[in-house]
Amino acid sequence: MNTLIRLHTHDDGSEHDLAEYWHLADPTNSQGPAILCTQEYYGYGESGCKYDFKIVKKGGITCPDCLEKLKILKGVKL
């Protein structure tokens, strides 16, 4: 399951420049809920930004920066 976030505003209330994209919530961030590409925090007690979220079984990520980071991570050989 993928948790996707669309940020409408920054923490200071200004319009977010990546508002049209759905970002992946970083599943490895132990500090709190943040998007993968910029590590910008969202959520109650974390940030004052306005956002939408949805949970999908597969896909749904439209942010080119999140997709690029995922491609890099998938290239790591274990």
- The pTM for the full model equals 0.89
45-66 per-position pLDDT tens digit: 888 899 999 999 999 999 999 9
Domain count along the chain: 1
Residue of 27, 34, 31 lying closest to 70 (CA atoms): 27
Residue 41 has pLDDT above 90, yes or no: yes
19-33 per-position pLDDT tens digit: 899 999 999 999 999
Q: Could you tell me the residue range of the domain that residue 8 belongs to?
A: 1-78
Residue of 5, 6, 3, 7 lying closest to 48 (CA atoms): 7
- Enter the tokens of residue 39: 């590590």
List, in sequence order, every residue forming a beta bridge with 41; answer none if it has no partner: 34
Place of tokens 């992946």: 24
